Amino acid sequence: MEYNFSAIEPGIRQFWKEHEVYKVLNDSAQPKYYVLDMFPYPSGSGLHVGHPLGYIASDIVARYKKSKGFNVLHPMGFDAFGLPAEQYAIETGQHPSATTEKNIKRYKEQLDNIGFCYDWSREVKTSDPEYYRWTQWIFIQLFKSWYNPLTQKAESIDSLIRILEENGNAGIPAPGDTALQVSAADWGSIDEAARRDVLMQYRLAYLDYAEVWWCDALGTVLANDEVVNGVSERGGHPVERKRMRQWFLRITAYADRLLSGLDGLEWSEAMKEMQRNWIGRSEGAAVQFEVKDSTARIEVFTTRPDTIFGVDFMVLAPEHELVARITTADRMAEVEQYQAYVRSRSERERMAEKKITGCFTGAFAIHPVTGREIPVWISEYVLAGYGTGAIMAVPAGDDRDHGFARHFDIPVTNIFGEQYNGEQAYTAKDAVLENSGFISGQKVPEAAAAVLDYLEQKGIGTRKVNYKLRDAGFSRQRYWGEPFPVVYKGDIPYTIDEAEAALPEPLQQLPVVLPHVESYRPGPEGEGPLANIDSYLWVTNTRGEQLRRETNTMPGYAGSSWYFLRYMDPGNAGFLAGKAAADYWNQVDLYVGGTEHAVGHLLYARLWTKVLCDLGYLSFDEPFRKLLNQGMIQGSTRFVYRIKGTSTFVSFNLKDQYETDPIRVDVSLVDGVTLDTEAFKAWRPDFAGAGFILEDGKYICGSETEKMSKSKYNVVNPDDIVRQYGADTFRMYEMFLGPIEMSKPWDTKGIEGVHKFLKRFWRLFQDEQQGLAVTDEQPSEQELKVLHRTIKKVEEDTERFSFNTAVSQFMICVNELTDLKCRKRAVLDPLVRVIAPYAPHMAEELWQQLGHKESVVAAAYPAWEERYVVDNTKVYPVAINGKTRTEMEFALDAPQADIEAAVMSSEKVQHYLEGKTPKKVIFVKGRMINIVL
RNA sequence: GCGGGUGUGGUGAAAUUGGUAGACACGCUAGACUUAGGAUCUAGUGCCGCGAGGCAUGGGGGUUCGAGUCCCUCCACCCGCACCA
């Protein structure tokens, strides 16, 4: 019988479903293994062939681990809140919950088509109130917690209150305002509002001000994504930065633990390095500069205190709060103009800008050591959010400062003597300081230490650790996200369960359900759409006070920061995940996803896990033990070439004879590189009258590798591939394309090889006329060698996620067994179990045909035997001066002397020796022989 | 600008520890079978060369008996950069 995948696969999927073979229980005597895919966002365009790459890999691992005796948790769900659904709602009026449901349904169909072994009974959706009640609950924990620097842990805010009552905040500076000093007496005498202001400076979820993109024409706040080239993507309206009060998560409190926690994780070094760089820990000094004729003090952070004698000017971020205070009257107009320019610029643009811009404020700072007056400038290259938003500029020792000084003709003080050439800053750390007062003649480390001692002694500076990491903005002025469980009494925020808010009992309960809206228009003053709904906005408490609800919603990463916990115990109505379930499943053993989440999602999920662990809700503080990054599958775009000013298209190899415009053509109209000209004419009305200049009777397209996207007409839908070749072929082909972590282009043409292989695999079992043709004969030594080597190789390759080489091994195995005409059960029965994780449908079908009643999913992975995988001879490459000239076979246990003698006397070697005596013979047992002349 | 990654045949790639570069496939060429072939099978296929042989892992240099693999340097491309998820 032919391999008829389209008849086999749906039935097999039905069989799995009916027998609930993917159902996972939380209690099992088997060891657990938790393999997780990164949460998909269910976009309206569905899956393309790039998305399932990681899902196939994790599915193979999940099935393989099951066959190795593990109780495997392999769930799937949806990150269902997000901007695209809301944007779509604004454009079409359809409610995001409706479109999201539709998209999820489509995603699930597409995923099921590929035969993944998800336990769908554990599916979670972040937009489900039963899910987001726990997202809100975690937010409340964050709000009611602070990071105790003495215990290095998050603790309940109550422990802070007790400390404040007894001792004030001496020794535990507020991370939100390090200058804040509150004695026990102060704490006792201030009112509730003032106390809550103090606590706000400590909370892990806190309110502060931050800038957002504001578009006046649209009356709304825009995401970075929605701002393109300095104008709104929709409509092209001007945008500017606007300060708004927003929620933040104090991730900076965890900077050191997020850094040190990386050491124990099995993530790629590249991934860890990205997180380290993102956290950006640097040691240096905070130094105060007085401002001439002003009470203002400018604080800077520097990692090179040794260069302090080379400070020639200061630069403040244009939005620095001191700018307005210190700018002199005559410079005011110009400074304001420059500030307006910078307000229109994104951080990215500012950092990447090569053109040097800046503006003198008219103010002078006083050098804290020499007393010299140094000009204070503002420039976009200094960012308000990094360090203190101000720098001491040392042009002799810093490239950017040097460029700035030259551009604005600021004289450069040379503190490096001969080492500085006047053309370029001298940035090497091996410098010897010169012209630098009491540190002249010293090297960088000792000079830095000396300066630090001096500054600390004089009280004008301190040793300081700085982080590039910034606290995470947690408010979105949007509708389609988790509502905050927060109400305001005047300006003071309370979580709904706090006694001080005095809400009636039902209003204290989670979840705070996202109200239905008819319009997604933003509220007044840049607030989100929730501000338009009076019935939601205002609540009356038991004291008859009118409280206003928070109108922002949470960002996309809120729900995805803890979803891996919910899968463990998705039905739990009493807690986000029951203790027993969380202890059993524990950390995710393998997390599969793209590198694009390196510093966003992965950092936030680590933070939430650490907080929940500190507060006693979890027994582990790192969520993802091992991380596997899958590369992208790129699109292969096809081009046709239209002769300028005509509707004639010329084939690829003839196009240079004409002047042409390349035009992207939908990949579905092309077979390999050959265009279906009739389909092309039918594709778009403006091509209906197209003419073609062919080569060899065909129209050949050009091709280029690009991101797979609708607009490039290079999207390939897995449904189409599955329909044409079957899910097993699709799965194996995706794996066969190359190493999982590498990016590679999709080429549908190449799938034939894998499909042919599966047909050959099938034919090992099947006779074309009679069907199953497996025999009970004793297998030969050679057949067993093929089998056992395959078991071993596939096992090793699967363990190290080298799926492409595992597929190759299957091909080699089938080629060899076909040559041996092997139809023996003793070989083929184990082979079905080996291939089952890769091609589960075919394996299940053959498994049943072999007479097994249980699903192959439950079958054990076969063990390989040493005696079938060892060789006792080796064909050695024999090289002369490193160049391989011949091959000779020897027993592996042959004595070296015998081998050397045989090699030297061989005719081929004698030919190359040309009578000379070799200087040396290198023999590496089991590897090679090299004769050095 | 900063950070991370990747460069091997016409194409996707393999080479797991410094030890036969190109396994396994796609494509291409020739052939067999066939009423037919977008089925199946056989043979060939890195480049140059009639051949002996030479040259080849982005470019250049180095270490080594031996380098795709280690070191230095240069180049090209891809991804991320804090409100897309």
pLDDT at A902: 87
Nucleic strand B within 7 A of Cβ A244: yes
- Asked if strand B contacts A41 at the CB level, meaning under 7 A, the answer is yes
pLDDT tens digit string along A617-627? Answer: 999 999 999 99
In chain A, what is the straight-line distance between the N-terminal and C-terminal CA atoms, in Å?
A: 61
Q: Which of A380-389, A471-480, A486-495 has the lowest mean pLDDT?
A: A380-389
Q: Is residue A12 part of a domain?
A: no
A240 burial level (CB within 10 Å; 0-12, 13-18, 19+): middle
User: Per-residue pLDDT averaged across A600-627, rounded?
Assistant: 95
Query: Given the structure tokens 């800046």, which residue do they identify?
Result: A358
Residues A611 and A638 in one domain: no
What letter would DSSP give residue A267? Answer: -
How many domains is chain A built from?
Answer: 6
* A683 and A754 inside one domain: no
Q: Is the pLDDT of residue A370 over 80?
A: yes
How far in angstroms lies nucleotide B15's C1' from the CA of residue A798? 18
Nearest to A623 by CA among A274, A278, A262, A272: A262
Report d(CA A692, CA A652) in Å as an integer: 11
Residue range A879-894: average pLDDT? 84
Residue A803 lies in a domain: yes
The residue lying closest to nucleotide B20, measuring its CA against C1', is A877
Name the helix (H) or strand (E) containing A887.
strand A883-891
Identify the band that residue A344 occupies on the pLDDT scale cut at 50, 70 and 90.
confident
C-alpha to C-alpha distance for A397 and A433, rounded to whole angstroms: 11
**For the residues A742-752, what does the mean pLDDT come to?**
90
CA A918 from centre of chain? 56
Check whether residue A570 and residue A653 sit in a common domain. no
Looking at the structure, tell me whether residues A457 and A534 fall in a common domain.
no
Residue range A205-243, pLDDT digits in tens:
999 998 888 888 888 888 888 888 778 888 888 888 888
Q: Residue A851 has what pLDDT?
A: 95
- Domain endpoint, select from A862, A894, A912: A862
CATH code of the domain covering residue A798: 1.10.730.10
Residue A178 lies in a domain: no
Q: In the beta sheet, which residues pair with residue A301?
A: A286
The separation, in Å, between residue A596 CA and nucleotide B77 C1' comes to: 18
Other Cβ atoms less than 10 A from the Cβ of A716: the count is 19
Higher pLDDT, A139 or A517: A139
Q: Which of A629, A657, A678 is the last residue of a domain?
A: A629
Whether A373 and A461 map to the same domain: the answer is: yes
* Amino acid letter, residue A729: T
**Of the candidates A721, A722, A754, A718, the residue with the CA atom closest to the CA atom of residue A10:** A722
User: Is the pLDDT score of A653 beyond 80?
Assistant: no
* Cβ-based neighbour number of residue A927 at 10 Å: 11
Q: Residues A425, A527: one domain?
A: no
Establish if A262 belongs to a structural domain.
no
Nearest protein residue by Cα to C1' of nucleotide B21: A884
Which residues have C-beta within 8 Å of that of residue A902, sequence separation ≥ 6? A888, A890
Give the whole-angstrom CA distance, residue A533 versus residue A536: 5
Q: Please give the pLDDT value at position A219.
A: 84
Residue A513 belongs to what domain range? 483-552
Asked if pLDDT for residue A32 goes beyond 90, the answer is yes
* Across all strands, nucleotide nearest A41 (CA–C1'): B85
What does the alpha-carbon distance between residue A537 and residue A553 come to, in Å, rounded to a whole number? Answer: 13
User: Which nucleotide is nearest, taking the CA of residue A741 and each C1'?
Assistant: B5
Q: Residues A451, A563: one domain?
A: no
Which of the four pLDDT bands, split at 50, 70 and 90, describes residue A606?
A: very high
Q: DSSP 3-state assignment of A534?
A: helix
At A544-553, the pLDDT tens digits run 999 999 999 9
Q: Which residue is nearest to nucleotide B85 (CA to C1')?
A: A41
Is it the case that residue A560 has pLDDT exceeding 80? Answer: yes
The average pLDDT across A826-839 equals: 96
Domain-embedded: residue A153: no
Per-residue flag: A802 CB under 7 A of strand B: yes
A433 touches A427 (CB < 8 A): no
Residues 883-922 of A with CB within 7 A of strand B: 883-884, 887, 920, 922
Residues 343-362 of A with CB under 7 A from strand B: 346-348, 351-352, 354
Q: Does any strand B atom come closer than 7 Å to the Cβ of A757?
A: yes
Residue A161 lies in a domain: no
- A672 and A688 share a domain? yes
Query: How confident is the model over A652-664, as a mean pLDDT?
Result: 84
DSSP label of A569: S
**pLDDT level of residue A128 (50, 70, 90 thresholds):** very high
pLDDT of residue A659: 86
Distance, Å, A596 CA → B6 C1'? 16
Q: CB atoms < 10 A from the CB of A790, how many?
A: 26
Is the distance between the Cβ of A4 and the closest atom of strand B smaller than 7 Å? Answer: no
Angle at A930 between CA A925 and CA A933, to 5 degrees: 150
**β-pairing, A281-291 with A359-366?**
antiparallel
Contacts of A81 (CB under 8 A, 6+ apart): A126, A127, A480, A481, A482, A553, A554, A556, A558, A559
Q: For residues A20-32, give the mean pLDDT.
A: 92
In a domain, A461, yes or no: yes
Whether A203 maps to a domain, the answer reads no
- Does A411 share its domain with A313? yes
Amino acid A927: pLDDT = 87
Of the residues A434, A467, A500, the one at which a domain ends: A467
Per-residue pLDDT for A655 more than 90?
Answer: no
Given a cut of 80, is residue A770 above it in pLDDT? no
Note the pLDDT of residue A667. 87
How distant is C1' of B37 from CA of A839, in Å?
28
CA distance A97 to A89: 10
DSSP A298-347: EEEEES-GGGGGG--EEEE-TT-TTHHHH--GGGHHHHHHHHHHHHTS-H
Residue A904: CA atoms inside 13 Å, Cβ hemisphere, count?
17
Within this chain, do residues A540 and A506 fall inside the same structural domain, yes or no? yes
Which residues have C-beta within 8 Å of that of residue A711, sequence separation ≥ 6? Answer: none
Cα A32 to chain centroid, rounded: 26
Percent of chain A's residues with pLDDT above 90: 65
Q: Is A430 found in the same domain as A368?
A: yes
For chain A residues 779-798, those near strand B by a CB cutoff of 7 A are 793, 796-797
Among A228-232, A369-373, A766-770, name the most confident range: A369-373
Please state, in angstroms and rounded to a whole number, the distance separating the CA atoms of residues A254 and A146.
11
Which range among A112-126, A649-663, A853-867 shows the weakest confidence by mean pLDDT? A649-663
Is the shortest CB-to-strand distance from A927 to strand B under 7 Å?
Answer: yes
Give tens-digit pLDDT for A70-110. Answer: 999 999 999 999 999 998 898 888 999 999 999 999 999 99
Give the per-residue pLDDT at A710.
Answer: 84
Query: Could you tell me if A732 and A816 lie in one domain?
Result: yes
For residue A779, pLDDT beyond 90: yes
> How far: A270 CA to B19 C1' (Å)?
29
Q: What is the pLDDT of residue A189?
A: 94
Give the model confidence (pLDDT) of A7-18 as tens digits.
999 999 999 999
Listed as ranges, the nucleotides of chain B within 7 A of a protein C-beta are: 1-6, 11-16, 19-21, 23-27, 38-41, 54, 65-67, 78-85
Q: Which among A309, A287, A289, A461 has a CA at the least distance from the CA of A363?
A: A289
User: Taking residues A281-303, what's their average pLDDT?
Assistant: 91
ipTM confidence score: 0.94
**CATH code at position A300:** 3.90.740.10
Q: Within 7 Å: CB of A43 and strand B?
A: no
Cβ contacts of A396 within 8 Å, gap of 6 or more:
A307, A310, A402, A412, A413, A414, A415, A416, A420, A425, A426
Give residue A192's pLDDT band: very low, low, confident or very high (50, 70, 90): very high
